[in-house]
Amino acid sequence: MLRVEHLRIGDLSPLTFKVADGECLAIEGPSGSGKTRILRAIADLDPSQGLIFLDGAERNEMPASDWRHHVRYCAAEPSWWTETAQGAFADTEKPEAGRLQRLLAALGLAGSLLNRPLSMVSTGERQRLALARALMDDPKILLLDEPTAALDPQATALVEELIKYQLLSGRGVILASHNRAQIERLAHVRLLLPKRPRAGTTAEHAA
């Protein structure tokens, strides 16, 4: 379970909420309301004040790299540091045999995509490859920033199916999305961000 207490990020009002195992919390709000900043702060990619606990352990109790192994941030526009996606997957330590093939199949991606230069892979395919990359080493919490922004309806359905499966297998998910219908389909809890930050924003359980 991920528990966030009085998380202060820049001029946003302090945030307190929790995400249980197998639960999906959706962060809603207009552009510029701080959705990405919240996800980045939870992954400890930006300095922030407040406490974040994962299964009772505060983020500062463990090395940052361990924290990010468990609490995995997926950027809206994934970046790559290698010529082909294969190189980026090689970074993962001791990947479970066949896991990558299963993830690619679930996302509707051909295995040959791994060896194609990333500049020749479409935006939507890159976004799905990045999701597979994020799931390779079994994170406990997924922080998904607009995970289907670049996808067509068919690929969106596959990604949502995969997210549902991750929830069933006990992972917590925090989803930042503009897509109302997607939030309806996936989220158990919602966090609504005001356009102008006000004091004391907390999560309310959806009716």
The residues binding another protein (CB under 8 A) are 43-47, 60, 63-66, 68-69, 72-75, 77-81, 91-92, 130, 133-134, 137
Query: Cβ of residue 25: shortest distance to another protein, in angstroms?
Result: 19
> In this complex, which beta carbon is closest to another protein, that of residue 92 or of residue 101?
92
Nearest to 51 by CA among 39, 37, 41: 41
B/e letters for 53-90, b = 16+ CB within 10 Å, e = fewer, are ebeeeebeeeeeeebbebbbbbbbebebeeebbeebbe
Query: Cβ of residue 82: shortest distance to another protein, in angstroms?
Result: 9
Beta-carbon count within 10 A of 136 CB: 18
Written as six digits, the tokens of 180 are 């109302």
Residues 6 or more apart whose Cβ sits within 8 Å of residue 178: 31, 146, 149
Q: Given the structure tokens 């195992």, which residue do they identify?
A: 21
> In this complex, which beta carbon is closest to another protein, that of residue 3 or of residue 68?
68
Written as six digits, the tokens of 65 are 């790299």
> In this complex, which beta carbon is closest to another protein, that of residue 65 or of residue 154?
65
Query: Cβ of residue 106: shortest distance to another protein, in angstroms?
Result: 19
Query: Cβ of residue 73: shortest distance to another protein, in angstroms?
Result: 4
For residues 109 and 135, is the Cβ–Cβ distance under 8 A? no
> In this complex, which beta carbon is closest to another protein, that of residue 104 or of residue 203?
104
> In this complex, which beta carbon is closest to another protein, that of residue 124 or of residue 139?
139
Query: Cβ of residue 199: shortest distance to another protein, in angstroms?
Result: 26
